[in-house]
Structure 1
Amino acid sequence: MKIFRTLYFSLLLFTIADTCCAQQLTWTVVEPGIWKAVAGNPDGLDLLKTAGAVPYHAGLAEMGTTEFPLPQDEIKATIIDGKTYLRFPLDTQEQLYGFGLNFQTIHQRGKIITLHVDNYAGRDGGHTHCPTPFYVSTKGYGVFINSARYIKVYAGTAVRVDSKTPPEIKDRNLDKDWKPNPYSDAVEMLVPASGAEIYVFGGPTMMNVVQRYNLLNGGGCLPPRWGLGFTQRMQRLADAASVAAEAQAFEDKGYPLDFIGLEPGWQSKSYPCTFEWDKTRFPQPKAFVQDMLKKNIRINLWTNPYVSPQAPVYNNILPYIATHTVWNGAVVDLTLPKARDLFFGALDKNKIDIGVGGYKIDEVDGGDAYLWPDVAIFPSGNSAEELRQTYGLMMQRYVTELYHSRNQRTYGLVRASNGGGASLPYVIYNDYYNHQDFITALINSGFAGVLWTPEVRSSKTAEEWLRRFQSNIFSPMAMINAWASGTKPWSYPEVAEQIKQLANLRMQMMPYWYSEFAKYHFKGIPPFRAMNLEPGFQSMPAEKPVEKEKINLEENPYESVVLKEIKDQYMAGENILVAPMFTGETRRTVILPRGKWYDFYTGKFAGDGQVITVIPGLDKIPVYVKDGGIIPMMPSMLHAPQINQQVDIEVRYYGEMPGYYKLYDDDGETFNYESGAYSFREIKVTKANGKIIGSISNAVAGKPNTVGKVTFKMMTN
C-alpha cells in the first residue's frame, strides 16, 4: 500500500509541475508543410535570424501542403527555472537521423547528445562543427529547434514514470534479454533558455522533410562553376613566386586546378591576425591576384577572426570586443552592426576588392583550451554560449554578403556552422583525419543542412593516397589540403596517372555536379546524402549479407530500430551511388536499392535490390548509376568554364528505362540567377532495338546558354 501511495504522490507532483509550468503550443503554418510554435520567451538571438535565412517560397510552394505529422497534444513544452523542457512522441519502430554533423553514427535513436559547436575530437556526442538541432524520423517528419543554445537531447532514452507506452520491466537476474538502455517513447530536449521556437516539418517522405528544412533556410548554396573544380592549398609560408610555380607545375603536368589556398603566412602576423598582406612574401597583392586570375586560377585566403593588436583595425574595434581573448587576439562581437562594418571591411579591403575568390575561415568551432570561455562577456549582452553557437554562421554570412554586393559568387571553407546556414556557400573541414569517419560525416551532412569535404592531406602509402582521392572527387569540394606536408597530386609516382584520371573525371562531371547543386538550391535536395533518403532503399539486413544474395527490400521494413547502419556508401546527386574503398581493402559489400543499377565505368548491369560483393581493384571505387540514369559530361579541362563560356556536352545514358534529366544552366559566376537568368534544359533518352534516341530542349531565349554541341552515348549495350 505504501508503494502505491508513493507512486500516487509522485504522479501527482508530475501532474502539478506539468500543469503549472506547461505551455500551450499553438501551431501556425509558416510555409507549405512547415509549422511553427513558440514556447515561452525565446532569446532574441537565434539561428535563423543570425544566418539571415529567408525561406525560398517558390520551392516550398511547388512541394505543396501536407498534414501535421504528429499528434499535437503529445508535443509538450514546460518552462521551469528559466529552462525549456520539450517532449516529442516517438513510436517503437521509428529510427532517427540528424542532430548535426556526426562522424561515426547515422542512427541517432538511443543517443544522449549535447548540441555544442566544437572541434570534433573523435567521438560522437553532439560536440561537433555543426550541431544542427534538427532531426528526421523514418515516419516522415522532422523537428527543428531554432535556438542558439547548448541543447541537451535524449533521443528515445529518457523513460517517464507516466509514459503511455513504458518499456517492459525486466529482471536482470533471470531475463537474458535485459538491457541497460530500455525503450523510451519520446525525444526530449532541454534548452537552457526561457523559451524556444519549434518547427515541425511534414513529409510524407524523409527526403521531403529534408527538402522543406533546406528551403526554409533559403535553399542550398549554389557555388560558382570554378568552386566545383579542383583546389590545392599551399604551405604555410608560401610566397607569390612559389604560388605561381605551383600553378605552372599543375599546368605542365596536366592536372586540373581552379583555386589555390593560401595558409596563415599570407598575413603579416597570424594567431592573432592582422588581416594584412605580408609585404616580404606578397609585395604586390593586387598584381599577384590579377596575374593568377589571368591564368584562370582564383586565390582563397585562410584566416581566423581573432584580431591582433598590430592589426590596423584593432584600435577602432576595441569598443566592440569581448572580455576574453583567443591567442591574445580580440574577439569581435559580430552581432553589433558597427563592429561588423569594421571587421568585414578589413576582409574586403585589398582582398575581395582586388579579386580574391574566397576565404577559409578557421578556428570558429571550439576547443575549450583556446576559444573564448563561456564566462566571457560581449558588449551586445548576448552570451558567450550564443556567440559560440553562431559565430561560424556570422562569418559565413557577412563574407558572402561582401561578394553578393559585387554580384560575384564565392565558395569557401569553414570550421563551424549551424542550423539556418544551408544557403551559405561554404564547406566544412577539420583537423580530424579518419577516412571512414569522413564518409560517415559526408552522409550525415545531408541531414545537417551543410556540406562536408573528405579532404586529402597526407598518406602513409600510395594506396591510401589513391583511396582518399577517389572518394574526395565524389564530394562537395575536390581538395588537397596538404599545407603541412606539401604533398602534391603527383607525389606518389606509382599512382600519379590514376590521380590525374580522377582529377580529370571530376572536371568532366562538372555539368552533373552543377545541376545537382542547382537542385539543392531550388528544390532543397542535398547533393550528397544518405542511402536512407533514396526511394526504394530501406536498410541493410541485420544478418551478414551473402554474395549476390537476393533480398526483398519491399518486405524488409524497419522491424526494429536496432538495424545495421549504412554509413559507408552514399548517393551523389540524383543518379549516382558511391561506395568508397579504404586502405587495405580489396573487396566490399554494396547494397543496391530496388530498381536496376549499372556500373558507372562500364555500363554493365550490377544488380537490383541486392547486397553484392565487389572486387574493384586499386584503380577504382564502386560507383553505380540507376536504371535510366543520365550523367551529362563535358570534355576534360584544366580549368572550369569561364563566365558564359560554351562547352560541349556528352550525355551518358545507363540501363533500359527511358531517361529524363534536367540540366541546369546559368552564367556560372554571378547571382543573376536570383533574378531569373537561368534555365533547366530537359534531356530525354529512349532506347529501342539496341539504339538510343536522345534530345535536349532548346535554349531559352534571353537566358544564358553555355551548352555547345550535345552528343549521346549509350553506356549499357
Structure 2
Amino acid sequence: MITTTQVQKKGNQFPNEIVDFKQERDRLYFTTKNGVILELTVLRDSVIRFRYATEYVFEPDFSYAISDDVSLGFNSLEVEDGKLEYLITTSKLRIYINKGNLKVKITDLEGTIINEDETGFHWEENFDYGGNIVKMSKVTQSAESYYGMGDKASHTNLKGKRANNWVTDQYAFGKDQEPLYKAIPFYVGLHNDLAYGIFFDNSFSTYFDFAHERRNVTSFWADGGEMNYYFFFGPKMSQVVEAYTNLTGVPELPPLWALGFHQSKWSYFPEKKVKQIANTFRKLKIPCDAIYLDIDYMDGFRCFTWDNRRFPDPKRMVKELEEIGFKTITMIDPGIKIDRDYWVYQEAMENDYFCKRADGPHFKGKVWPGECKFPDFTNPAVREWWADLYKEMIADVGVHGVWNDMNEPAIMDVPSKTANLDVRHDYDGHRCSHRKAHNVYGMQMVRATFEGLKKYTFPKRPFVLTRAAYSGTQRYCATWTGDNVATWEHLWIANVQAQRMCMSGYSFIGSDIGGFAEQPNGELFARWIQLGIFHPFCRVHSSGDHGDQEPWSFGKEITDIVRKFIELRYELLPYIYTMFYKYVNDGLPMLKSLVFYDQEDSQTHFRTDEFIFGDQILVCPVQEPNAQGRRMYIPRGKWYNYWTDEVVEGGDEKWVAAGIDKIPIFVKEGAIVPKYPVQQYVGEKELTELKLDVYYKDGTENSMVYEDQHEGYDYKKGRFSLRKFRLRGKPKELIVQQFKDGSYITPYNKLRLQFHGLPFTIKKIELDNEKVDLKSVKLNGNNNIEISKDFTELHLFGA
C-alpha cells in the first residue's frame, strides 16, 4: 500500500489562488490559476458534493454507485465573497473556500468545525498509466473516531487504521487483513458529539489512512480517476447513514423466506444427498427455508448447465424440495468455459461480449472449469443478455434464487488473483481499463442477475446473493463476508464485519456460519449459530473439506441448542421483516453498533461485541471457549434480560451468565416485540394469531410491526399492514394504543399480548374505552391476554 508520506514526496501538485468563480443554481465553480476547478454541488442542506478537475477538464460525470431515487433539494443557499475566502451557507452548514489554496473548512451554524482540509486536494501525475493519483488530506479533530468502510476485518473504530478498497478473493483471510471482498469507500467521523460522513466515489483502488501515519491527519487517495467525494452532516450518525443510504440506494423488500435459515456446503450432490439433507431437517424439526447447490451441480462447471448424472431431472427435484418447504438456490460464476460446443460460450463469442486485452485478444483466466473468458458486465448489452440466460433455470426449472460467487473476478494461479489491469471495459459507454472497472465488475454482474431474476420470478420477488460489491450493490442483492475460517477469532470478525456493513448502507449481510475453511467443534458452531440468527442473512456454509457442518453434525446437545436458536429466529421473523421495512423506507441499519445507538455515551465509541438488533433488542455473542457468561456493556436505559425478565440499568459493564445454551439478549423496556409461531419453513402454517411480547415501562415507548403477503409487489400498491404501537406505563396502569395503516388484511384476527415486568396485578381491562370481562380476553394469570387485532386502545388497571 502507498503510504501518506510516500504520496507527499513524489512531486505532488497543489491548487493555488482562485482566479474565477461562477454559480449555476446548486453548483458552484471555483477555478485556480494553475487549472484546478472545484465543483461544489449542494444536494441537500446537509449533503455537499466536492469534485475536482485538473488542467481545467472534468472527466465524464458517471457513477454506478448513485441511486436513481436519491432525494434532492435544499432550503437555502447563500454565497458571500469575502476578502480571504468564499462562504457558502445552507440551513445546516457553513462552507469556507480559501481563496489562496482552495482548502475547504466546514462548520455548523454555530461555528463548530465539523471537517477541514489539512493539505486538502493534491495530485500527482501517474507516468505508468496516465492520469492522476488523486489525494485528499483532512485534519483529525480532537478525540475523533471513524466507522464504516464495509467488510473490514478490524475493530469497529478505525482510528489508527489503514484500509484499501480493491475487491479481492481473500480465502481464509485474517484479522486486519487488507484488502477484502468489497469496496465501500464510505466512513463516518465522530467528534464533539457531531457526526459526519464522507463517500469517496472512485472505483479505482482507493486507500484510507485514519490518523495512522500522522496522528493529526486523515487522508484518502486513489490510483486514478477524480477526487470526487460527498460530505454528509448529521449531527447524529443515523442522519449520516440515512443520507448515504439514500444516495446509494436500498433493496426491495425480499421474500420472507429469504430471511429464514439457509443451509449450504461445497457441495451437496448428487440429488440423493440433497434430498437426504432436506429430509433430515424435517425429521429433526429444525426449521430451514433454503438449500444451496454449489458448482458441482453443473456439467463440468459450465454455468447454466446441469450434470445429468448427478441431477437427472432438476425440475422434478426442485418441485419435490419445494413441496416440503425448501427453496433451491444455485451458484453462477462469471467465468465461461472456453468450449466451442457450449452454447453460452458460443453466444458470447458471436456477440463479442467477452472482455478483451488492450491489444485486442480476449482476456483468459483459469477458474473452476479451466480456461475461461469473462463477459464485460459493464456493457449494457451484455447485462441484458446475461439476464436472459436465467430464463431456463428460473422460469422452466423453477430455481428460486441465485448466488454469484468468484465475481471479483477471482482468477486462479496468478499473483494478482484477478484480471490483468490492461483488460478493457465498456463502463456504460465510458471505456476504461480494469484499473477502473475492477471494483464494480462483480456489482454489474449481480445487477444483471437481479434484473434476470426479477423478470423470470415475477410476480414473486427475486433473491440474489453476491460475494463482491461496490457502494450501491445493496440495491440488487444480499451479501456475505466471504471465505472465513472456523476459529473463535473469526467469530469475532463476523460480528464486527456485519455491524460495519450495516453502518455502510448494506444491511442484508451475513457470514458463513461455523466458518468456511477448517472445521468447528460443536461449541464454536453453537456459539456461531447464536450470533448468526441475529444477522439479516442467516446461512451455514462450509468448504466440506474437514467434515459435515449441518445442525446435527455435533451430537444431540449441540443439535438441541442449534434448533432452539433457529426456532427463535423463526419466532422473530415479523420483527426482522419490520427491521427490513425500516431499512428500505428510512435507510436505518438493521444492526446498530452501540456507538450508532448512543453516540453521546463515550463508552460506546470503542465497543465491538454488543449490537442492537433492529431498534429494541440488545445482543452480545459469546466469543471464547468454555465460557459460562461474559462481561458486556449495557447501553444507557433499562433493559429486560430476555431469558429471566430481570430488569437491569444500563450505562456500565455487567457480568451476564450465558452457559452453552444461551447468549446475552436484552429487550429495551417499553418494547412490543412481534412473534410468529415456530414454523419449519415460511408459509408452513396458517397464522391464527400474532403474539406481542409487551415489556412494561414507566413512561412511553413506540414500536411497530410491518406485514404484507411476504411475496410479490402488492405492497407497493398499498396492500400492506403497518401497526404502530404506543405504550404508556404508570405504576398502576398500562395503556397500549394502536395506529394502523395499509389495506392488507392479515390472515389472523387475534393478537396475544404477553406482558413482562408488570408491577401490578391486572384488576380491570378497558378495550376501546369499554370495560371487558377478564374471562373474555382469556387472562392467564398476569401474563397474557387475547384481543382483537383491530383494537385502538387497550387500558390495563392494577390494584
- TM-score, normalised to structure 1, is 0.84
Partner Cα separation in structure 2 for residue 31 and residue 465 of structure 1? 46
Residues 427-436 or 450-459, more deviating: 450-459
| Map of 1:578 onto structure 2 | 619
Partner Cα separation in structure 2 for residue 535 and residue 570 of structure 1? 11
The correspondence for 1:330, drawn from 373, 376, 384, is: 373
Tell me, yes or no, if structure 1 residue 489 matches structure 2 residue 551: yes
Letter in 1 for 2:493: D
Structure-2 change in CA distance of 1:530 and 1:90 (3 Å): same
Partner Cα separation in structure 2 for residue 66 and residue 495 of structure 1? 57
Offset at 1:367? Answer: 5.8
Partner Cα separation in structure 2 for residue 386 and residue 592 of structure 1? 44
Residues 654-663 or 67-76, more deviating: 67-76
Q: Secondary structure at the match of 1:351?
A: helix
Letter in 1 for 2:122: T
| Map of 2:491 onto structure 1 | 435
After TM superposition, the structure 1 = structure 2 runs for residues 558-577 of structure 1, keeping only pairs within 5 Å, are: 565-577=606-618
Letter in 2 for 1:293: E
Residues 328-337 or 32-41, more deviating: 32-41
Structure-2 change in CA distance of 1:264 and 1:697 (3 Å): same
The correspondence for 1:303, drawn from 313, 320, 332, is: 332
Tell me, yes or no, if structure 1 residue 68 matches structure 2 residue 93: yes
The correspondence for 1:345, drawn from 388, 393, 405, is: 388
Letter in 1 for 2:365: T
More strand by share: 2
- Percent of matched pairs sharing the same residue: 22
Tell me, yes or no, if structure 1 residue 183 matches structure 2 residue 215: yes
Residues 500-509 or 303-312, more deviating: 303-312
Deviations 1:312-345 (A, max 9, x none): 1102213221223242111111111232233332
After TM superposition, the structure 1 = structure 2 runs for residues 181-330 of structure 1, keeping only pairs within 5 Å, are: 181-184=213-216, 186-270=217-301, 273-310=302-339, 311-318=342-349, 319-322=352-355, 323-327=363-367, 328-330=371-373
The correspondence for 1:144, drawn from 174, 189, 199, is: 199
The correspondence for 2:510, drawn from 433, 447, 453, is: 453
Offset at 1:56? Answer: 4.9
Deviations 1:149-174 (A, max 9, x none): 101222234xxxxxxxxxxxxxxxxx
| Map of 2:41 onto structure 1 | 28
Structure-2 change in CA distance of 1:537 and 1:496 (3 Å): farther
Contact 1:232/1:480, CA 8 A, preserved across alignment: yes
After TM superposition, the structure 1 = structure 2 runs for residues 444-593 of structure 1, keeping only pairs within 5 Å, are: 444-450=500-506, 451-457=508-514, 459-482=519-542, 484=544, 485-492=547-554, 493-535=556-598, 538-540=601-603, 565-582=606-623, 583-593=625-635
| Map of 1:54 onto structure 2 | 68
Contact 1:667/1:706, CA 8 A, preserved across alignment: no
Offset at 1:352? Answer: 4.9
Partner Cα separation in structure 2 for residue 187 and residue 445 of structure 1? 21
Letter in 1 for 2:51: V
| Map of 2:434 onto structure 1 | 384
Contact 1:211/1:525, CA 8 A, preserved across alignment: yes
Partner Cα separation in structure 1 for residue 536 and residue 206 of structure 2? 28
Partner Cα separation in structure 2 for residue 290 and residue 258 of structure 1? 14
Residues 322-331 or 630-639, more deviating: 322-331
Q: Which has the higher contact order (CA 8 A, sep 6+)?
A: 1
| Map of 1:414 onto structure 2 | 466
Partner Cα separation in structure 1 for residue 285 and residue 47 of structure 2? 49
After TM superposition, the structure 1 = structure 2 runs for residues 71-82 of structure 1, keeping only pairs within 5 Å, are: 71=96, 73-74=104-105, 75=117, 76-81=120-125, 82=131
Offset at 1:350? Answer: 2.7
Contact 1:114/1:125, CA 8 A, preserved across alignment: no
Gaps of 5+ in 1: 1-9, 158-180, 542-562
- Largest Rg, 1 or 2: 2
Partner Cα separation in structure 2 for residue 119 and residue 649 of structure 1? 44
Tell me, yes or no, if structure 1 residue 426 matches structure 2 residue 481: no
Partner Cα separation in structure 2 for residue 378 and residue 536 of structure 1? 45
Offset at 1:136? Answer: 0.5
Offset at 1:698? Answer: 4.3
Q: Secondary structure at the match of 1:140?
A: strand
Partner Cα separation in structure 2 for residue 22 and residue 578 of structure 1? 53
Tell me, yes or no, if structure 1 residue 102 matches structure 2 residue 152: yes
Gaps of 5+ in 2: 1-9, 19-31, 76-89, 98-103, 106-116, 126-130, 356-362, 759-799
Cα RMSD (Å): 3.0
Letter in 2 for 1:150: S
Contact 1:21/1:79, CA 8 A, preserved across alignment: no
Letter in 1 for 2:376: D
- TM-score, normalised to structure 2, is 0.76
Q: Secondary structure at the match of 1:291?
A: helix
Letter in 1 for 2:609: D
Deviations 1:355-409 (A, max 9, x none): 2121121112366745433334225342212332012211222222223332432
Structure-2 change in CA distance of 1:12 and 1:263 (3 Å): closer
Letter in 1 for 2:621: P
| Map of 2:100 onto structure 1 | none
Offset at 1:614? Answer: 1.6
Contact 1:114/1:127, CA 8 A, preserved across alignment: yes
Deviations 1:215-261 (A, max 9, x none): 22223553211011111115525133332232222112111111111
Q: Secondary structure at the match of 1:261?
A: strand
Deviations 1:118-158 (A, max 9, x none): 1342143641222211111113111111111101222234x
Q: Secondary structure at the match of 1:142?
A: strand
Structure-2 change in CA distance of 1:220 and 1:92 (3 Å): farther
Aligned length: 653
Letter in 1 for 2:52: A
Offset at 1:651? Answer: 0.9
Tell me, yes or no, if structure 1 residue 358 matches structure 2 residue 358: no
Partner Cα separation in structure 2 for residue 16 and residue 51 of structure 1? 31
Partner Cα separation in structure 2 for residue 288 and residue 712 of structure 1? 42
| Map of 1:168 onto structure 2 | none
Q: Secondary structure at the match of 1:588?
A: strand
Q: Secondary structure at the match of 2:365?
A: strand
Partner Cα separation in structure 1 for residue 706 and residue 323 of structure 2? 27
Q: Secondary structure at the match of 2:292?
A: strand
Structure-2 change in CA distance of 1:221 and 1:95 (3 Å): farther
